[in-house]
Structure 1
């Protein structure tokens, strides 16, 4: 029992310098751990948004291609009226189908319209009335002349699709260029 009393009377412990050094080391280690975890979470969110934008862009492109090949037009006509850029599919049997990007007028956001149906996606389709390079558009390059103006029987359809998504005060943007023949 005498030993425990003697141990209690001694003033062994941590000095102020040792305590400050220990707290500094713990703070540095905690800062490194916090930074690594935060970086990992931010990277995960960025990759998740980019993957979602890519999935939506692929879905839009495959829908347009599917409409083109199921409708099987003889000719395709350019549409460019009031900020709406796109194409009109004209079959030999009559009836038409329009595929275009519609500008809503009040902002730089747009909608993909297939005939009369609005194609809904979560991301914003970027359009701009001042024809900036990042704006979405659907254009037509004719490889043969037609007797009708602005129409092609063969050629290339160029689709430039710019999507953006806001999440947590950060805007992610993806631009997809696609060309395919008809």
Structure 2
């Protein structure tokens, strides 16, 4: 019976076949481990990006909803033509209700506030308070909107009540929004891709 010392002193070593077999098995094990590891990383990254895309889209829609809920909208209009086909919404506050001997009348206000949402790759909100401009970007790179061929597919206004004056401005109605947002680092042309997040919503004013 061979002792451990005898086996240790055996100088025959491994045969070529045994060496190739070990390399083949090691290669298979390492390949499987690598694929499982990479898939885990991809799944983790994709999940994080999907959550962030939803948060970005929710933030844009909630900011728009705040303007509609917290402000008295006297006029809502589409301004896509001014932006060369880029979806655009504008809301104006320029009326006040005054009591004239028990009769409540709507009159023009000396102050005019307009809030414009431009849905370009980066969503921009421009507030004009009597000539004082404030610009805020509601989305930041790498998050960006996918622009539709028709701007009405992204932002549209269904007017339910027009003003009685010559402007025929829209005093009340529905705003229809469809936002499709993606992470530029995980777009379709990248190694790891994440489907764009699409959110549809409808607001009344």
Q: TM-score, normalization: structure 1?
A: 0.76
Cα separation, 1, equivalents of 2:152 and 2:158? 18
Deviates more, 1:163-172 or 1:35-44: 163-172
The Cα offsets for residues 49-72 of structure 1, whole Å up to 9 and x where unpaired, read as 221111111111111111221112
Cα separation, 1, equivalents of 2:122 and 2:153? 8
> 1:75 Cα deviation (Å)?
3.7
1:90–1:97 contact (8 Å) kept in structure 2? yes
Deviates more, 1:38-47 or 1:15-24: 15-24
Matches within 5 A, 1:77-96: 77-80=77-80, 81-83=82-84, 85-93=88-96, 94=109, 95-96=112-113
In structure 2, the partner of 1:33 is 33
In structure 2, the partner of 1:114 is 126
Match of 1:167 among 162, 169, 185: 185
RMSD: 3.1
> 1:157 Cα deviation (Å)?
0.5
Q: Secondary structure of 1:96's match?
A: strand
Q: Secondary structure of 1:47's match?
A: helix
1:100–1:138 contact (8 Å) kept in structure 2? no
The Cα offsets for residues 132-176 of structure 1, whole Å up to 9 and x where unpaired, read as 169974221112344355632322111222323222773643232
Q: Which runs of 5+ in 2 are unaligned?
A: 97-108, 128-133
Relative contact order, CA 8 A, sep 6+: which one is greater?
2
Q: Which runs of 5+ in 1 are unaligned?
A: 104-108
Cα separation, 2, equivalents of 1:135 and 1:36? 44
In structure 2, the partner of 1:177 is 200
